[in-house]
Amino acid sequence: EVHIMESGGGSVQQGGSLKLSCTFSGASLGRYDLGWYRQIPGRECQWVVIHDEPRIVYGDSVKGRFTSSRVAAENTLTLQMNNLQPGDTAEYFCAADRFLPVQRVAGNRCPEVAAMTEFWGQGIQVTVSS
C-alpha cells in the first residue's frame, strides 16, 4: 500500500517563502512522472510543475519563483516557493503516474484529476496574505 505524506504548508505574507514536501512510501516510482498541482477556489485544477525526467516543466504563473526537486532514492518531491503572491493561495497536491500530461487538468477540478491519476496526495493548504 502506498502512503503519501505532504508537509510544509501554512500561511505567509506576500513576498514570503514556503517549502512543500511530499513522500511516497511503499511505491517504486523510478519510471513515473511526478508533479505538483493546485486548486484555487472556483477555478479548474492547475498544474504547477511536472517532473518528466530529465525535464522539469513549470507552469507559466510560477516560473522563476518556484523550484521543484525530486530525490529519487527517497521517493520525495519538494516544492520551494519564493516570492509568494496572494494568487498562489490554494490547496496544493503532489501526484505521481506513469504519465502526467498537462492536458489532464483541462476543464477539471483537482478531485477529477485525482481520479485519473494513480497516486494523489491528500492536499495541503497554502495561504498568502497581502
Rounded percentage of the chain residues whose pLDDT exceeds 70: 100
pLDDT digits (tens, 9 = 90+) for 29-82: 888 999 999 999 999 999 999 999 899 999 999 999 999 999 888 899 999 999
Query: Alpha helices of the chain — where are they, by DSSP H?
Result: 110-115
Going by the DSSP 8-state scheme, the letter that residue 102 receives in this structure is: G
For the chain, the distance separating the N- and C-terminal CA atoms, rounded to the nearest angstrom, is 41
8 A C-beta contact, residue 26 and residue 39: no
Q: What is the mean pLDDT of residues 94-112?
A: 94
